[in-house]
Amino acid sequence: MQRLLQRLKDAAPTSARETLVQALCDGLRSIPVPLVGSFLARLAEDSLKPEHKGPELDDVVRILEEMQESDGQFLDGLRRLGADVEELQRDLDAIRETQVGVEFRLARATVEPRWPALDNRIAALLVNRGGGLVVLDEVHLDIEGWTPLTRVDLSVPAAPLAVIRLKATLDTATPTYPLFALNGEAPHQFAQALGAERLEIDLDSRRNARYRLRLRLAYYDERLDRSRELQWPDAADPAVELDFAWAPGWGREMDLLEAPAVFADVEARLAAFADWLEHDRDVSALPPGIPEYQARPGFIRDGFLRMIETRIAAHPQASPGLRALAARLNAAAAQG
């Protein structure tokens, strides 16, 4: 890192900012510690994009210089760059545990249901456990089946949302998604003991459905000189299931499956909410799926009622009874 920073200082007076950023990130990727180099490079590259309003290049270089002074400064620098140090440590532990055998592996694979606040996420660590070089050409997401979800998520945001930058948008008519191609990713290389990267796949959907899916990683094994595939979950295990309910309060626009059942569900629950506003107001009696924070008077409830009026009652497929509910809800809320 010392040599890298010195080269950057020497080149700074005559180089464009973009050139220096690229040199910094390329140098960080060359650090011979599993995951750390690529992790630092991604942090620096992401934080230095103008649209992210993160630290300036000089600040990043200064942080990297300070990180050389001690282990404590190194950890503090990672955090200042926006790293999840605990997550990095768990990834490094997983890499050490898998440095046996001869095959390409997914370690610490996780499924994180975050819909509708964020996209659902599949995450894993890609590790080359064997000798030679592995070149990951593509990550395919295969849909094995889907089921319509007629239960509507009626919650609305209580806080600002995070920004998701890379994702795949699922549709029930598409069985396979080549994720590298969709996101403009070039093949990634994994050498023994040095080849590890964090894989995160954020998914949203154009349809209100529960998808059953698997990952299929197409890679080239240099030592065997042949193309191979890695599947997760294993064929003997059940597919991953992810739910994507229609959530109009989160700006989730969808081509609705089984729309009559969807609107019957939402009409029944909003009618129960109107009854609650008119008579009960006991939190324990709130209809299912309506959080307490958006039932109490205030700007969040006002936003919830506007969402019902503009996104649900005004929907082209809403019934006359559902359209009439918007006025009833507003009148009930005005009572107190």
pLDDT tens string 292-301? 888 888 888 8
Predicted local distance difference test score (pLDDT) of residue 170: 96
Three-state secondary-structure class, residue 298? coil
Predicted local distance difference test score (pLDDT) of residue 130: 66
pTM: 0.62
Q: Is the confidence at residue 263, as pLDDT, over 90?
A: yes
The rounded mean pLDDT for the chain is: 81
Mean pLDDT of 211-240: 89
> Which pLDDT band holds residue 60 (cuts at 50, 70, 90)?
confident
Predicted local distance difference test score (pLDDT) of residue 172: 95
Pairing of strands 133-148, 176-178: antiparallel
- Residue among 3, 48, 6, 9 nearest 25 (CA): 48
Mean pLDDT of 152-176: 75
Predicted local distance difference test score (pLDDT) of residue 335: 81
CA angle 312, 309, 257 (to 5 degrees): 5
Name the E strands within 28-117.
104-112
CATH 2.60.40 domain range(s) in the chain: 97-250
Predicted local distance difference test score (pLDDT) of residue 165: 47
Residues 170-187 pLDDT 10s: 999 999 999 988 988 888
Render 58-81 in DSSP notation, one character per residue. Answer: HHHHHHHHHHTS-HHHHHHHHHHT
Q: Rounded to 10 degrees, what is the CA torsion of 324, 272, 312, 326?
A: 30
Report DSSP state, residue 185: P
Q: How far is CA 329 from CA 206, 237, 243, in A?
A: 29, 47, 29
What number of CA atoms fall less than 13 Å from residue 232's CA on the CB side? 19
Mean pLDDT of 39-49: 71
CB–CB of 129/34 below 8 Å?
Answer: no
> Which pLDDT band holds residue 206 (cuts at 50, 70, 90)?
very high
Predicted local distance difference test score (pLDDT) of residue 164: 44
3 or 249, greater pLDDT = 249
> Which pLDDT band holds residue 101 (cuts at 50, 70, 90)?
very low
Residues 73-87 pLDDT 10s: 877 877 777 667 777
Q: Output helix, strand, coil percentages for the chain, rounded to the nearest 5.
A: 40, 25, 35
Predicted local distance difference test score (pLDDT) of residue 301: 87
81 or 139, greater pLDDT = 139
Residues 8-26 pLDDT 10s: 667 666 666 677 777 777 7
320 or 156, greater pLDDT = 320
| Amino acid present at 30 | S
Q: Is the confidence at residue 308, as pLDDT, over 80?
A: yes
- Reply yes or no on domain 97-250 having CATH 3.30.420: no
CB–CB of 279/296 below 8 Å?
Answer: no
Q: Which of 131-135, 228-232, 327-331 has the lowest average pLDDT?
A: 131-135
Mean pLDDT of 224-250: 90
> Which pLDDT band holds residue 155 (cuts at 50, 70, 90)?
confident
Percent of the chain with pLDDT over 90: 30
CB–CB of 247/116 below 8 Å?
Answer: yes
